[in-house]
Structure 1
Amino acid sequence: MQTVLIVIHLMVVLALVGVVLLQRSEGGGLGIGGGSGFMTARGAANALTRTTAILAVAFFATSLALSLLARYQEQPVNILDRLPTTEQGQTGGAGILDQLGPSETPAEQPAQPQVPSGQ
């Protein structure tokens, strides 16, 4: 369910970005204002405004649905509950970091500074 909502959300986002970029700027900020197209300026503005509003509502709806789905889908798991236990019910004598195991590569010793010889 979450994957389907994410795909729908991404398609709505891409469509919304495309529709916003198609709209004519008021001050000609991008330098591509004017020209004749398949629709009149007023008809294109009405269609793009309506399409932008519909896509904005779809964007908010999918955003809310995804956030609610993430909130109520599953409870978080405490990683300390997954530690192996001994017969006494404790996590053993070692600490949590000791149970993770040693690192694969040994730590390198820092180089000793060279003492300059006085001549």
Structure 2
Amino acid sequence: MQTVLIVVHLMIVLALVGVVLIQRSEGGGLGIGGGSGFMSARGTANALTRTTAILATLFFITSLGLGILARYQSSPTDILDRIPAGQTGGNVLDQLGGSAPAPATGETPAAPAAPAAPAQAPADPNAVPTGN
């Protein structure tokens, strides 16, 4: 259902953009340059204004429909619901479990590795380091 509504919504959007671009503006518009046609300028303006209003209403309705479907189709979850009830200690982020697992009881985490030796300074302080 949601996919069908999205396709209809996109077709309405494309039609709305096209109708708005065709309308006559103060500068002349894209599709309605002077000359004569089967419709007068006033009749064309009324038809395009009415079409724009209808498409805008349909756009609004499909947007609301998509919002309602998104709200009720998926079950929203709260990140705080993933915390076990009896767990204590640490802060909320530690309780959620991240990329590093928490150490088991009685174990201590491994010490971090020793930092690498600093790079040697160039002989000339104004020289550009090349990474070699």
Larger Rg, first or second structure (1 or 2): 2
State the identity %: 64
1:48-77 Cα deviation digits (max 9, x unpaired): 111111101100000111111111222224
Number of residue equivalences: 98
Higher percent of residues as helix: 1
Partner residue in 2 for 1:97:
99
Shift of 1:29: 5.8
Shift of 1:33: 4.0
Matches within 5 A, 1:1-119: 1-25=1-25, 27-28=26-27, 33-77=33-77, 81=82, 96-99=98-101, 112-116=119-123
Q: Secondary structure at the match of 1:51?
A: helix
Work out the CA distance in 2 between the residues paired with 1:16 and 1:54: 9
For structure 2, which runs of at least 5 residues remain unmatched after alignment?
A: 88-96, 102-115, 125-132
With a CA cutoff of 8 Å and minimum separation of 6, indicate the structure with the bigger relative contact order. 1
The 3 A distance-change label for structure 1 pair 11 and 110 is farther
For structure 1, which runs of at least 5 residues remain unmatched after alignment?
A: 100-108
Q: Please, what TM-score do these two structures have when normalized by structure 1?
A: 0.65
The 3 A distance-change label for structure 1 pair 23 and 115 is closer
Q: Secondary structure at the match of 1:50?
A: helix
The answer to whether the Cα contact below 8 Å between 2:9 and 2:59 also exists between their aligned partners in 1 is yes
